[in-house]
């Protein structure tokens, strides 16, 4: 109960902050998209390009845990993750608040779950993140990004969303439950890496965790959810 309440308060605080306290929306916010739709390559600061891409990386990291977890929840995971494509962390937090702790997995893995459960997916995400970091650090205009952060609602909100993705990853029981499903309950070192090393820790976890074992057995929790 306390966990859910804190998550809802974070969700509400983020909405109120972006609406009332964040910088205003700039007239040229959608200019890069308009340029792309016009058939031209937009000029993008690598820092902001990497930041935008990291939102997608984080959504795939969470998907690697949430879609298996959602199999055992009352609320369908896909509904929240589809919403997260448009709203990011605003659609993710409600799932984290509504889900119930559950350390089981019942049923067969479909093609989407096989993809998310694969260590190759974790490796590709890790390499992509490293390349994004090199791009932003080596070629990014950090002064320009700081200016945009202070004056542009979209960049400001997106930056805070990435921070929330990072801070929330170890907080709910989502990570603990995923480790339990894979027989990693006693691996405190892996949990510490995944929970406390920002971004790279969760990526390392996706690369190292064993695959879920499909099972046709049932349990009381699954029966109750049905």
Whole-Å CA distances, 172 to 50, 81, 106 = 26, 17, 21
Check if the beta carbon of residue 121 is closer than 8 Å to that of residue 64.
Answer: yes
pLDDT tens digits along 74-93:
988 999 999 999 999 999 99
φ/ψ region of 187 (left if φ > 0, alpha if ψ in -120 to 50, else beta) reads beta
What is the C-alpha to C-alpha distance for residues 33 and 153, in angstroms, rounded to an integer?
Answer: 16
SS3 135: helix
pLDDT tens across 36-71, in order?
Answer: 556 565 688 899 999 999 999 999 999 999 999 998
DSSP-derived letter for residue 28 is: T
- State the Cα–Cα distance between residues 10 and 166, nearest whole angstrom: 14
Task: Tell me the CA distances in angstroms from 133 to 47, 63, 88, 93, one per residue in order.
Answer: 9, 22, 20, 26
- 133 Cβ contact partners less than 8 Å away, ≥ 6 residues apart: 50
Task: Indicate the length of the chain as a whole number.
Answer: 226
53-81-148 Cα angle (round to 5): 35
Q: How far is CA 101 from CA 1, 215, 217, in A?
A: 11, 19, 19
* DSSP bridge pairs for 107: 215
Q: Which pTM value belongs to this model? A: 0.90
Q: How far apart are CA 43 and CA 168, in angstroms?
A: 32
Per-residue pLDDT of the chain (226 residues; tens, 9 = 90+): 789 999 999 999 999 999 999 998 777 666 665 665 565 656 888 999 999 999 999 999 999 999 999 988 998 899 999 999 999 999 999 999 999 999 989 888 999 999 999 999 999 999 999 999 999 999 999 999 999 999 999 999 999 999 999 999 998 899 999 999 999 988 999 999 999 999 999 999 999 999 998 766 444 444 344 3
Under DSSP, is residue 19 helix (H, G, I), strand (E, B) or coil? Answer: helix
| Contact assessment for residue 152 and residue 73, using Cβ atoms and an 8 Å cutoff | no
Q: Are 99 and 174 in contact (CB under 8 A)?
A: yes
Alpha helices in the chain (DSSP H): 2-16, 31-37, 46-70, 77-87, 89-98, 111-117, 119-139, 142-151, 153-168, 174-181, 188-196, 200-208, 220-225
- Strand, coil or helix: 114: helix
């Amino acid at each position: 109960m306390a966990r859910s309440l804190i998550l809802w308060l974070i969700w509400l605080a983020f909405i109120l902050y972006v609406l009332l306290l964040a910088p205003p929306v700039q007239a040229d916010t959608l200019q890069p998209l308009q340029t792309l739709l016009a058939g031209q390559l937009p000029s993008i600061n690598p820092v902001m390009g990497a930041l935008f891409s990291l939102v997608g990386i984080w959504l795939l990291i969470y998907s690697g845990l949430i879609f298996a977890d959602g199999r055992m929840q009352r609320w369908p995971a896909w509904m929240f993750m589809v919403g997260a494509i448009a709203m990011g962390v605003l659609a993710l937090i409600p799932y984290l608040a509504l889900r119930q702790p559950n350390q089981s997995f019942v049923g067969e893995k479909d093609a989407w779950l096989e993809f998310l459960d694969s260590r190759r997916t974790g490796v590709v995400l890790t390499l992509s993140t490293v390349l994004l970091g090199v791009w932003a650090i080596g070629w990014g205009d950090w002064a320009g990004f700081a200016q945009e952060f202070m004056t542009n609602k979209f960049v400001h909100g997106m930056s805070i969303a990435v921070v929330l993705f990072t801070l929330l990853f170890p907080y709910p029981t989502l990570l603990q439950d995923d480790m339990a499903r894979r027989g990693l309950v006693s691996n405190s070192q892996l949990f510490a890496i995944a929970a406390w090393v920002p971004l790279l820790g969760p990526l390392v976890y996706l690369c190292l965790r064993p695959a879920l074992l499909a099972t046709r057995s049932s349990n009381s929790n699954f029966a109750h959810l049905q």
